[in-house]
Structure formats: structure tokens, C-alpha cells
Amino acid sequence: MSKPVQVFVGLGSNLNQPVEQLKRAVAALLDVVDLNGVRCSSFYSGKPMGPQDQPDYVNAVVQLETYLKPRPLLQILQRIEEQQGRIRERRWGERTIDLDLLLYGDQCIDLPELTVPHIGLAERNFVLYPLQEMAPDLYIPQLGALAQLISACPRTDLQKIKQT
């Protein structure tokens, strides 16, 4: 085996105790033998992107290393969503837990079930700011330097949550 791929996963929840949902998802990722060096950003709270008649979100980004190919990795993320009883009522609506494969090394992936870099990444402050905390010098394929994207994406209402 050559080198593991560096992966970033976005976590989001706005139902059923979002902070606990995120903690559970991080614990589940730490438990997967094929995922190494799992570390999580701070948790952030913010207003929903999309319909405003839903609770605020809690978001974070996890960085990890793996030799898994994108599809098996995606299946692991989906299994964790299912284990946490993922509810998704409507498009762009409330959800118990979302695990989005944001970045897979420097690869661009365009499959029916998976687009990497994740669609909308450049407009989502709740992804960019936690990413900056983890990897300030990151370069995002097709989109450019993270620092550049951050400078074009206002932080607005995004707040770091104090963690105990």
C-alpha cells in the first residue's frame, strides 16, 4: 500500500439533540478500523441554509486517513446515518444526522451517488470555517485555496459552541 488518502467529512444535525448526534457520529467513525487519525473540529451552531422554519444546526468537520476507495467509504458514512435513525423529512429540511463526504484527497469524483468536492461547499460557511480550523492551507480541487473561499463567504451567524 502506498499512502492513505486524506479525507474530510462534514457533520450536521438539527434534530434530537444535535450535539449528542455529532458526538455519536464521531465516536462511530473512531470505531471503524479502516479509518485512521480521526479528529474533529469544534462544533458550530448556525441558522439553517434553506427553509428558515426549522431548528438551528450544529455542524463540524472530521478529518481522517484511509485506504478505502470512495464507494466503500460512502457506505460506512451511510451506515452511521442509518444507525442514528436518520430522519429527513423534506428536501433542505431538518435531519437527525448528515455525514457528507466533502473531500477525498485531491480527487474529483462524479458518480451518480457521489460528487466530490461536495456540491455547494464554496457557499457553506458551516463547512468552510470548521475546515479552516482543521487545515488552513487546504487547496480544494476545482475551487481553489480554502483561504480564498473563506474570504468570499461571510461567517454571519456561525458561532463556535463552547465544549465541556
Residues near ligand ROI (CB under 6 A) are 12, 46, 48-50, 57, 59, 92, 98, 126
24 catalytic residue (yes or no) = no
From the list 86, 88, 90, 157, the catalytic residue is 86
CB of 47 to ligand ROI, least distance (A): 6
CB of 48 to ligand ROI, least distance (A): 4
State how far the Cα of 94 lies from the Cα of 58, in Å rounded to an integer: 11
95 catalytic residue (yes or no) = yes
CB of 4 or CB of 48, closer to ligand ROI: 48
Phi-psi region of 36 (alpha: psi -120 to 50; beta: other; left: phi over 0): beta
Backbone angles phi, psi at 139, to 5 degrees: -115, 130
53 catalytic residue (yes or no) = no
CB of 13 to ligand ROI, least distance (A): 7
Please, how many CA atoms are within 13 Å of residue 18, restricted to the half-sphere of its CB? Answer: 21
100 catalytic residue (yes or no) = yes
Alpha helices in the chain (DSSP H): 18-30, 70-83, 125-134, 146-151
From the list 71, 95, 110, 155, the catalytic residue is 95
CB of 32 or CB of 47, closer to ligand ROI: 47
State how far the Cα of 36 lies from the Cα of 86, in Å rounded to an integer: 25
